[in-house]
Structure formats: structure tokens, C-alpha cells
Structure 1
């Protein structure tokens, strides 16, 4: 199952709207098992991991065990259901990590497998799989993608200084890690303030991986994004979506569209800004499951205030700003979420001279809230993940 999880993680950010699933087929008597097939959900979402692994295994799948990170699909879409391929392969046993809350599946995949007489074990490495598939689960159950924040701060807690400060917070190792995180996101989001102040490219700039840049999303309530910005200039090469309010000026919308930028309007909040829940619902409707926000402290705090933060990675550099005139990296609502334990530290990494600490909120299927013992039956796993 650990191999299946590793296989699925390879294509995170490339399979939406489908989850990136991993699958492994193991054959042979106890003590002499060997891997005869493996697969992951292909870019674009098809073929699915199970059919890839079974195709590699061929005749060796008969009497074998299939390990898969998510309950196999049981509905007809653009391809036949994976349960059909599983039953046709002659497997003896299926082991899954978590149930799929998608109402088209939601226990039906497990039920068909058991009804066909195959041995079924569920809940194996449930916590790890719940983290990997959180975006899919939230899109189905809450109508929004999973939201990850990325914030950098100085030793004394600032994200930016005054215009006269020449501030570079993180080093090359941390910068490379951020690009890897981007690569595994479906979309990366910033607010118009960050877009105008930093003029970011928001692309993956690692050797050989430039084609893995995610959808770029800019929240721009009044369409102040300039055609001369790096985001607009590259819009014909990297998909770029501006989410604005329905009251935004039509001429600005037309101008951005001529440069290849897609513009979509959603409801405004009482202050006249883009309503964050409406923006995330729009992204979910388009298939986005994993959203990375690099929009700076103001957007991060607004997301925290709306209780829309699932993970937050805070990267602390070795140098201090040295005075109190800077912009704090943690706004009051995000700081409270961390201090209160609503977001709990789950990982700490040393990235050259920098340290990255990741905080995670508790979800019904998240590692933070998972039980100490993993369920061993389909019904127990379904209750734990879908209740």
C-alpha cells in the first residue's frame, strides 16, 4: 500500500477532476509474494490506476491481491467502472485505504467486490491516503478544493519590509521545494495585491518540469490586473483565470480576455470583494481539487477567517528584518488558528538554512483526527470516512 500511495502522489496536480490514485497487484504464496503490476491515474484523469495495474499484471492477476488507495469506481463514465475490470481479472483479494464519498461510488464499489466473493480489506494506511485524497473528498462533500497556504517569514516574523528594505527571505533549497509544491497543485492562487506588488510568474521553474505549471488564479475584485504584468503576458502559454465580482468593469474584462486571460465573475462579500467561498465553489465546479495559495498575509488571513485553510506551510528564513515597520506574515485569524490548535503542526523540514513547518486542520478523514487503530471492514471504513 505504501508503494500504491507513492505511485498516486507522482501525478498529484495532473489528474483533476479525478483523484490521483495508486494501485499495485501482488501475486504469489505467503512469503513469496511479488509485484506483478502497478499503475497510477494517468494525466487528465484516465485511464484509472486499477486498470493500468491490472493490464500490466495480465494473467498473473488471477488469484492475486490488488492494493488501491481509494475505493474503486463502480459507475459508467467515459470509461467502464474499475470494479468490472477487477472482477474480470480473477483477483482473490482487494485491499483499499479509504472509501470514496462520491455518491456514484460511496460504498457501492466495496459492495460489488464483496458480493462477487472476493476478500476485502479496507482502512489500510487510511491516514496517509486521507491526506493524499483530501482535495477529492472536500470537492465531493463540501463543494470546494483543499486549500494549502504557503507563507515565508523572517526570523522576527515579517513577510515584507518597507520599500527601502532589500528583503530575500528564503534560500535556493526552500525555493525549489516551493516549486515542487506548485507542481503537485491543481491551481495556484494569489490576490491582486500580491500580483501588483510582486509581479510573480507563478510557474514551475525546475529543470525539465516547466510543463507542470498549474492553473494560475488571481482574485481581483475590480480588475486592476495590468496587461503589462508577467501573469497576463504569459497567459497564452500558461492557463490563467481571474476571478472578479459581477460588478467589475466590462472594458477591463474585455482587455484581459484579448490577452488570453479567462475572467469569471462571482458574488461579492459585504465589503465588495470577491466572496472567497463563491470563488472556491467556482474552482470546484471546474474540477479543481488542490489549491495552493501564495497570495501573502492578507489573503491567507481572509481564508483563515472564513475557515477555509486545510494546511499551512510556514517557511522561516535565517535572517531578521530588524525593525517593526514590516508586514507580519501571520495575520490575527491565522495566528489564532495555529495558537488554538485548530491548525496543528504535523511536519517540520530543514530546507538548507530555512525551516518549513506544516500545520494541518482536522477533518473526518484526516491524519490528525484518524483513530489509532485502522478499520478492518468495509462498513467500518465507510462510517469513518463518510459519516
Structure 2
């Protein structure tokens, strides 16, 4: 359903231009995904009418670290020209005092006549209050324009607020025969260059990249974004119940340059934790289950408390299966190679297959000879 046909708009009917400018605001916000945690990455556009129709005055994106907010940037750049115009913003403006004053105050001071948003913010400090305050001051407020697309962009923020954990995207590569790795020997290289570039772009939009300690021991990965022109590096996270991560591995050796967190159990050796901490690694304690392995829900909650909203998991079939069984997967990226290779570890197992069956498939993509299928929680 398009914005023009939505029956549940609580204010003035959406104009013929609202979907166009809202899509621009969401695309702007999507540029800084992975950069703004613990805050959502929001886009804002200030538009006003002239004799020939609406013109874009200014644009704003939430800045790295989460401040300043997109609305404030766009309105400050517009200055007096914003008066009488329309502000498009991909999430309800904040109405509470944090480190900065509420965006609602900046909107009222700017003198815009109309505010169009995509989503109500589920944060209990806001949750409709921003919209209500604007309406109470006579501003025409239109909501839910392109809301489905906005939920995808803001999935991390929504999941952290409503579920108390980051949104989890699971990436798994497999051969045509469904093989994702080897139980021993050298790492199995499955995907081609084009798919690898696509994965690095996905990494750049995450707050953190997650693997299990088994991947660290088998592959000694670096888990960085390696694309020309992209300098942002997500946090690297290892789930390691017993602190088996070697102090000589590449993640630890580069911990001073790229934030590296290891989530371990309360029972893990203190001496091992001290050695890792001395080398620049952040060690986080979480609960264990009855099997002696990390309680994945508690581990994810610990990441949320530290501000993470979007986690990109590249930990292989075992961690993928455990996350699926724990119902912690919000999006799955399944990449199938166009060739077979000599491996013996099956990729999609029963728990993940069941999770995929409950998800909504998006249109598949081709990356060179590899097929990328994306599924998301309905």
C-alpha cells in the first residue's frame, strides 16, 4: 500500500510528494547505519513550496555517535527559510531531554507548518509524545508514510527498545550442495569477489560483527570492512564461553585499532580475562546455560546494554543454528555459490531451516555467479 492510499493517517491526508521526500529521508538515514549507535540513524529533509512546486531546502543525517540529530541539522542549515515549510523525518522526533534538547523544541522554533514522519518511536520516552506535542502547537502532523520501509531501516533501534537486544542479521554461505565449511583443514572459500564485496558493505552497516570462538580458532579472521573509501569499522564481538581466544590471534593483536569485545561466562578464568583486557580487549560476562555454553539471549542483552542495535553474525553453521533455535535471528542472508567445493560441514540445519520457513523472503539478488537470498522476520 502506498502512502497516498493509507487509511490510518491521523492528521492531514498525505500529499502527492510525501512518499518521494520520505524515501529521500530514509535513504539519507540508511547511509549512517552502523555509525550512530546507541541512537537510530535518522534522515530529515526540509521542503517548502514555491511557485513551481516543492523544493528541497536542506537535508540532515544523524551524525556518528548519535548526535546531533538529523532534524536539528536540517533545520539549522535551513535557518529562516524553514518557516512555513515541511519537515520530513524517518522517525518520530524526540521529545525528551538527553544530552541535547528535544528535537521537538527545534522544530517549534523553526516555524515549520507541517511535519511528516514514517514511524512512531517505540522508545517509551517518546512513543507518540513528540507527535502529540507538535499537534498541540498547531503543526499539521502526518505519520506512517512508507512505514514498512522505515521499519526495515530502523530495525535495530526497534528491536533494542522492544526486545532488549540488538537486531541480528545472520550471514551464511554455502555451496550448491549445501556445504558451509570443513571440520578440519584450511578454510573453505565459497563465495566470489562480487558477493564478498556485498558482504563487506553489509558489515559497514552493522554496529558489530559477531563470530563464535570456533571461527576464531579455525580461521583467525580479521572481521574488518575492507572496501575503498570506507573507514568505519564495526565493533568485533566473539562469543567465547571459556575464553579460549588466543592472545596471538589477529583480533586481539589489532584490538587497540578496532574495538574488540569478547562475551564469556561468569565462570571463565579471571587470569585469561586479565590477559585479554591488558591487550585492549573488552571482556563481558554473561550467564551460561545448563550445557555450560553461553546463554545467547543474555549475551545479546549484554550487547544491547552497551548500546549495540545491529549485529551482523558471520559465525558459521553452529552459531547460526544456536541463534535460530534461540529465536534470535531477525534477518538471514543466505549466499549460495555457483560451484561446489570439498567440504563436509552442512550449512542450513533443522533449527535454521525452521526459522527460515517462518520468515518473509525478499527478492533474490545475483552477485557475480553467487545467489543472495535475504529473509526477514515477519
Instruction: Within 5 Å, give how 1:1-387 maps onto structure 2.
Output: 1-29=22-50, 32-161=53-182, 163=184, 167-209=188-230, 211-321=231-341, 326-338=344-356, 341-362=357-378
What is the CA distance between 1:72 and its match in structure 2? 0.2
- Offset at 1:269? 0.8
3-state SS in 1 of match to 2:53: coil
Is contact 1:8–1:21 with CA below 8 Å preserved after alignment?
yes
Check the 8 A contact 1:347/1:359 in 2, yes or no. no
Measured in 1, the distance between the counterparts of 2:325 and 2:188 equals 28
> Cα distance, 1:136 vs. partner?
0.5
TM-fit CA distance, 1:347? 3.0
* Maintained 8 Å contact 1:161/1:321: no
Q: How far off is 1:31 after superposition?
A: 5.2
Measure, in 2, the Cα distance between the counterparts of 1:32 and 1:108. Answer: 31
> Do the aligned partners of residues 218 and 164 (structure 1) sit closer, same or farther apart at CA in structure 2, a change above 3 Å counting?
closer
Kindly tell me: are residues 20 and 165 of structure 1, through their superposed partners in 2, closer, same or farther at Cα, counting changes over 3 Å?
closer
Aligned length: 357
Alpha-carbon deviations, 1:313-346, whole Å to 9, x = none? 0011111136xx61111121001222xx312211
Q: Is the 8 A contact 1:311 1:360 kept in 2?
A: yes
Structure 2: gaps (5+ residues): 1-21
Structure 2 distance, partners of 1:269, 1:212, is: 35
- Secondary structure of 2:362's partner? strand
Q: Distance in 2 between matches of 1:30 and 1:359?
A: 45
1:2 match: secondary structure: helix
Give the C-alpha shift of residue 250 in structure 1: 1.2
CA distance in 2, matches of 1:293, 1:164: 22
Unaligned 5+ residue runs, structure 1?
A: 363-387
